[in-house]
Amino acid sequence: MEEPVFDPRELGPDDEIVFACHPGVPCFNRCCYDVHLVLSPYDFLRLRRALGVSPQELIERYGEAYIGEVTQLPVVAIKMNPYDFACPFLKPEGCSVYPDRPSACRTYPLARYLREDPETGKRREVYRIIRETHCKGHYEKRTIRVRDFVREQGLEPYLRFNDLFGEVVARRQAHAETPLTADQLDLIFLALYDLPRFREEALSGRLEVPDLEDPAGVSDEDLLEAGIRFVLERVLIFD
């Protein structure tokens, strides 16, 4: 896998980038090979729903689940085909899950960070451009503001959920020296990835989920939000 190079310049949402990706670029789909494609909980929900499969089927058919070395949390990633290293969703005509492709596929060629102002405590978005030599999109003559690129790529709901999930990662990393029990890891997987079973557990009353009044009727999105808050408020508790 080619090592990406980051432009040193930091960009804000109103800065402009020169980039376009479309079926006419000579490298079309080259970036869909040999990718370490980790799914955030919202990526996982969108893909699972688009494919019409259960969480277990998605992992068994297309992915792998493990405990992340850095996050020490359950991680789900898409497994590349073993013979050509292509993403399993890549078809000759392009990405077969394009409307529900993961956030990493939407964000490229940008990397996004949240930086906290030490005085106000407010977080602001910072972007940097990633350059990989195979990517010819940087030579396309299209200028677009970062904020418009984010909108064009349908990233807004992904960023909202990924930022919320970022609080889970930050909480875990702040207590990285405390091992999680098997029960904690099971609950985290349940609430972030196995939403059908999380819904059942909440419905049956076996799990008390704060702020979830109607487990049967709530949308998948609201259920995931409740799941992330459940992990923050009930599972990742460190004395």
Contacts with ligand SF4, residue ranges (CB under 6 A)? 21, 25, 27-32, 35, 37, 87, 89-90, 95, 97, 101-102, 105, 108, 134-137
Nearer to ligand SF4, 19 or 189 (CB): 19
Q: Is the CB of 95 or the CB of 218 nearer to ligand SF4?
A: 95
Nearer to ligand SF4, 20 or 218 (CB): 20
SS3 7: coil
Q: How far apart are CA 180 and CA 119, in angstroms?
A: 33
Alpha carbons 46 and 40: distance in angstroms, whole number:
10
Give the shortest CB-137-to-ligand SF4 separation in angstroms: 3
CB of 176 to ligand SF4, least distance (A): 30
Q: How far is the CB of 37 from ligand SF4 (least distance, A)?
A: 6
- CB of 19 within 8 A of CB of 146? no
Cβ distance to ligand SF4 smaller for residue 59 or 90? 90
Alpha-carbon gap, residue 124 to 147, rounded angstroms: 13
Between CA 145 and CA 157, with CA 151 as vertex, the angle to 5 degrees is 140
Smallest distance from ligand SF4 to CB 77, Å: 12
What is the Cα–Cα distance from 114 to 82, expressed in whole angstroms? 35
d(CA 44, CA 17): 29
Nearer to ligand SF4, 27 or 174 (CB): 27
Minimal distance in Å, beta carbon 239 to ligand SF4? 41
